[in-house]
Amino acid sequence: MTDQPLLSVRDLAVEFGHGAGVSRPVDGVGFEVGEREIVGIVGESGCGKSLTLLALLGLLPSGGRVVDGSITFAGRDLRGADPSVLRSLRGRQVALIPSDAGAALNPVARVGKQLRLSLRTHRPELNSQQRRGRALDALRRARLPRPEQALAAYPHELSGGMQQRSAIALGLQNEPMLLLADEPTTALDVSIQAEILRLLVQLRDELGTAIVFVTHDISTVREICDRVVVMYAGQVVEQGGVDEVLTAPRHPYTAALLGSIPPLGGVPPEQLETVPGMPPDPAAWPQGCRFHARCRRFAELGEPEQCTTAWPGSAEGRALHVACHFPSEADRVGAGR
């Protein structure tokens, strides 16, 4: 691994709307991804995880725009890049696996045709026979049973797990440097989820592909990721090595996410932790720490004023970072800080 990260995101901000109707669902997000590294991004729905991935590739929904920050991939500034440059990167050097593979695949085109079209776009030097062979190899690498049949199938003829593997094959057949996986196990049963997670790790090991893995399930991050980025209300509230953050969380939100997961062994608690309420509206972010209205520590400390008036940090760099005015000191010792 080189000293420079493969992907560097700094103070990324995304806005929708204009004037009084403007909202900023991604606000000051920063993280890095090294070569051959798997970085998990976790948080509740509506915290800006998927929009962050789409912003990296210039694929924001209509009306969305990056208004601040920088995106650097392999030393290249993507925020200021020409759209033609982004088109040349997508699918070749950076690939996206969407959360809904069934919706992402063209329903009226056979899987093989979709794979070959991507190869014709990004690998024009290949002839038709080579494209077919490479598409088959991608399906085999994605551990699809009977890849020849999958090649000739329409997406609706495949199970959800096979559709997801087909989407993975589509993303990886050009052997990208970076894979953006947006909740790739959503709506799959537990056994298929486990297979997809193992597949991502195997592909990283075989191809050297770095992966950004977006999920709302923090337990999966513990299984496959090297580092974790915890997002809440469009911001990064904690990040660092998986062992550091998930063994000794310092931010109350991270601790609450972990407390809501049933333990796999030992004596289960009488009641799992829950976080009351919902993330705030991006069009009306609260002042100060955006988690304070739902934070147990805020209430226990007598509602300190700084929690309601000042944002407690920034998300620069790869080091362990916690955006909290009152991070857990006991967990800080446990994390070796």
Task: Determine the number of helices (DSSP H) and then strands (DSSP E) in the chain.
Answer: 14, 11
Give residue-wise pLDDT tens across range 22-56.
999 999 999 999 999 999 999 999 899 999 999 99
In 3-state terms, what secondary structure has residue 18?
A: coil
Average pLDDT over residues 70-93: 91
**Sheet order of strands, 210-215 included:** 94-97, 178-182, 210-215, 38-42, 227-232, 235-241, 321-322
pLDDT tens-digit profile of 105-147? Answer: 999 999 999 999 999 988 899 999 999 999 999 999 888 889 9
In this predicted structure, what is the pLDDT of residue 328?
A: 87
What is the spatial distance between Cα 38 and Cα 225, in angstroms, rounded to a whole number? Answer: 5
The answer to whether 217 and 230 are in contact (CB under 8 A) is no
Cα 312–Cα 316–Cα 321 angle in degrees, nearest 5: 55
pLDDT digits (tens, 9 = 90+) for 232-278: 999 999 999 999 999 999 999 999 999 888 766 666 666 777 888 89
pLDDT of residue 317: 52
Give CA–CA dist 286/155, Å, rounded. Answer: 43
Mean pLDDT (whole number) for 61-73 = 95
| pTM for the whole structure | 0.90
- Kindly give, in sequence order, each residue whose CB lies less than 8 Å from that of residue 182, ignoring residues fewer than 6 positions away: 49, 50, 53, 96, 97, 98, 99, 214
Amino acid at 233: A
Q: Is beta strand 76-77 parallel, antiparallel or unpaired with respect to 23-33?
A: unpaired
Residue 151 has, within 13 A of its CA and on its CB side, a CA count of: 16
Q: Does 210 have pLDDT greater than 80?
A: yes
Beta bridge partners of 14: 26, 66
pLDDT in the model for residue 315: 56
Query: Where are the chain's structural domains?
Result: 1-93+176-337, 104-175
Euclidean distance between CA atoms 165 and 289, whole angstroms: 40
Q: What pLDDT does 333 receive?
A: 34
Average pLDDT score, the chain = 88
3-state SS class at 51: helix
- Under CATH, what is the fold of the domain 1-93+176-337? Rossmann fold (3.40.50)
Q: Determine what percent of the chain is predicted with pLDDT higher than 90.
A: 61
